[in-house]
Amino acid sequence: MMQSSPLNARRVVIWIGRLVLGGIFIYAGFSKLLMPNTHLWPMFVLKFSISMNISSFAQQVESYKMISPEASQVVAHTLPFVEIALGLLVLIGWRLRIWATAITVILVGFLAVVTRAYLLHMDINCGCFGTPEKLTGLTVVRDGVFTALALLMTVFAFIEARQPHPWSVPEKANIGSSRESVS
């Protein structure tokens, strides 16, 4: 009979990280594309909604005054899709170490940018999700918590990858040992 995977603290943290961060990244990407303008039909109205939302997001990126307007457009047109893809990949758990590392790097970047804006007392919207949200100390704390969770998830994923897994033990050895015990 197959053993279940052992439940330890590291695996619990990995699961929590996958669920929480995966879900948040997917929501962040979707909300940037579809909020606050959520007209879905007909198709040209949906396209206009998404264009408007991306345009608003580009404006929020530009308000941080860290990159050029052209670079802000590139970020606005790519980041939502990257967030959705990373969120799905982390939730599924395929090649977890790679995508967990990517999420951690992105969150560290977000934390740095948001902290800088907060320390400079910039009166801007966070741009974290689709709806307008003032950048406050709470935003920095929230991003810090997510970054810490991502870091733990990534480190533990690497540690767990080095541990021998019960499923990797061939069943022949188990059958042999059970025959010995019967005899």
Partner 1 sequence: MTKTVWEDRVNRRRFLAGSFVTGFVGAFLALFAHATPQSPAALPDVDPHKAFGSKNAPVAMEVFSDFQCPACKTLFTTTNRRLMDDYVTSGKVYLIHRDFPLPMHAYSRIAARYARAAAQLGKVEPVEQALFQNQEKWEQNGDVDGTVAAVLSPAEMTKVRALVKGGTLEPLIDKDYVLGQTYSVNQTPTTVFHCKGQTYPYSGLMPYDVLKQFLDQLLSQK
Site for partner 1 in 20-49 (CB under 8 A): 26, 30, 34, 36-41, 44-45, 47-49
Contact residue for partner 1 among 112, 148, 171, 178 (CB under 8 A): 171
Among 85-93, 100-108, 114-122, 138-146, which window interacts with partner 1 (CB under 8 A)?
A: 85-93
Contact residue for partner 1 among 91, 106, 122, 151 (CB under 8 A): 91
**In angstroms, rounded to a whole number, what is the distance separating the alpha carbons of residues 105 and 25?**
13
Outline where 35-95 has alpha helix (H).
43-62, 69-92
Rounded to 10 deg, the angle between the 69-92 and 9-34 helix axes is 140
3-class SS of residue 108: helix
Structure tokens belonging to residue 25:
């990244």
- In the complex with partner 1, the residue whose CB is nearer, 45 or 105, is 45
**In angstroms, rounded to a whole number, what is the distance separating the alpha carbons of residues 140 and 20?**
18
Contact residue for partner 1 among 21, 32, 53, 143 (CB under 8 A): 53
| Per-residue x/- track, 116-145, partner 1 (CB under 8 A) | ----------------x-------------
